[in-house]
Amino acid sequence: MPEVIADRRHLHGLQATMLSDQQLTVTDKFGLRNEGFHSAPGSEEAEALPVPATLLINKLGKVVWMDLSADYQRRSDPSVVLAAMEAHFDITDD
Amino acid sequence: MIAIKTGTKIALLAAVIAAATARYWFYLAAEVALPADRTGFVIVFLGAAALGVYALIKRTTWLGAIPAIFAIVVGAFLPFTVSISTQIVERDSVIKVGDAMPQFTSIDGHGQAFDSLSLTDHLVLIKFFRAHW
What ipTM did this prediction achieve? 0.72
Which of A21, A60, A63, A76 to mutate to test binding with chain B, by most B CBs within 10 Å of its CB?
A63
Number of neighbours of residue B113 by Cβ within 10 angstroms: 8
Rounded to 5°, the CA angle B81-B24-A1 comes to 55
B128 and A51 within 8 Å at the Cβ level: the answer is yes
Nearest residue to B93 via CA among A63, A56, A65, A32: A32
The pTM of this model reads: 0.60
Closest Cβ opposite residue A18 in set B108, B123, B124 = B108
Give the residue-averaged pLDDT of B96-121: 88
- Is the confidence at residue B98, as pLDDT, over 80? yes
Backbone phi, then psi, for A44, in 5-degree steps?
-105, 125
8 A C-beta contact, residue B26 and residue B64:
no
**What's the confidence (pLDDT) of residue B133?**
40
Judged by CB atoms closer than 8 Å, whether chains meet at A61 and B126 is answered as no
Query: Which residues have C-beta within 8 Å of that of residue B70, sequence separation ≥ 6?
Result: B15, B18, B19, B52
Going residue by residue through chain A (94 aa), what tens digit of pLDDT does each one get? 555 555 555 555 556 888 888 788 898 888 888 766 655 544 455 567 788 888 999 988 999 998 886 666 666 677 788 888 888 887 555 4
